[in-house]
Amino acid sequence: MKHKVTLLPGDGIGPEITEAAKKVVAAATADIEWEIQPAGAEAIEKFGTPMPESTVESIRKNRVALKGPITTPVGGGFRSVNVYIRKKLNLYACLRPCRSFEGVEVPFPGIDLVVVRENTEDVYAGIEFEKNSEEVKKLSEISKVEFPANCGISIKPISEEASEKICRFAFEYAVKHKRKKVTGVHKANIMKYTDGIFLDVFRKVAAEYPQIESEDRIVDNMTMQLVKKPQLYDVLVLPNLYGDIISDLCAGLVGGLGLAPGANIGDDCAVFEPTHGSAPKHAGKNRINPISMILSSAMMLDYLGESDASEKVVKGVSNLIREGKFLTYDLGGSAKTSEVGDRIAEIISKGEFAEDVL
């Protein structure tokens, strides 16, 4: 079956790792027709915006997109394109699997964690007020708290509706993928009216899935647990900010962001992308690890119902890492981005899979 997929190469290192992923997907014999659309720096030059409406409409029409990383200016300029896409298309669930591969030196072998992050609320909703603004003065009056001089304010909305959707997504994922436990992560001991809602909803949803073990953890304790005994955890479900932080921590446990794929999923469409950023200082040098992008494409194939092709891609990555000849600098090697993509494609095309891989 042919699938039409929107492709956003992105900027920085995006085009290089996207090209590697395309080669691997082709080798897995998935029938994909790519519809290439601009986003990021290229789009600003041509359209005056980092995310043209035509690009959004392409994703909405095709319902699936593979996206390279896009640069977000720090402290100024446009807000994150990633956040914009998630809000515009209501991609409420961010899915970030983190598993260790044989051949990567890590403190805890055999890690297989999945982070499920709420994507639309929390401080990432972008409700902020500048220092000395009228809004800050009004908020001071309402809260009866005298804010320090030159104080900016960020508001953290957490709703029952969004919490219910993300918690249910996590438990449904656990059922579908034969996972055993879901852990809800929060700071409800301090933020009783926001994280308190999230925790309350988590417990109510968990009660509907008695076959899945459930528990909750305070977020600061969760970070300690993950660096001491990550093998005790399976699926983690978290509000937006905690999910962003914890997913990077989990990526570090399995070898870094170069091995961390991701997906943003809604009821109507999904966008697949690596967890890492655009690393503009490395752009054009053909040295960045493309595996996170390649694994994101495997997640995309699985979402499209191409489970055999998805499995080939993951096995190809596993075999490449195990043989250790074509690894980029972050994994202790000197291979180029293109060489990694070419070798994984070759492994898949020739069926050079070790019998015990995965």
Active site amino acids:
124, 187, 220, 244
How many CA atoms within 13 Å lie on the side-chain side of 195?
20
Query: What pairing do the DSSP bridges indicate for beta strands 112-118 and 181-186?
Result: unpaired
Enter the tokens of residue 182: 């879901």
Residue among 343, 259, 353 at smallest CA distance from 23: 343
Is residue 260 within 8 A of residue 251, CB to CB? The reply is yes
The secondary structure of 46-101 as a DSSP string is: HHSSSS-HHHHHHHHHHSEEEE------SSSSSPPHHHHHHHHTT--EEEEEEE--
Longest dimension (CA), the chain: 69
Query: What pairing do the DSSP bridges indicate for beta strands 93-99 and 261-265?
Result: antiparallel
Residue 241, Cβ neighbours under 10 Å: how many?
17
Q: Measured in whole angstroms, how far is the alpha carbon of residue 327 from the centre of its chain?
A: 22
Phi-psi region of 132 (alpha: psi -120 to 50; beta: other; left: phi over 0): left
Q: Which residues contact 330 (CB under 8 A, 6 or more apart)?
A: 256, 258, 289
Q: How far apart are CA 312 and CA 301, in angstroms?
A: 10
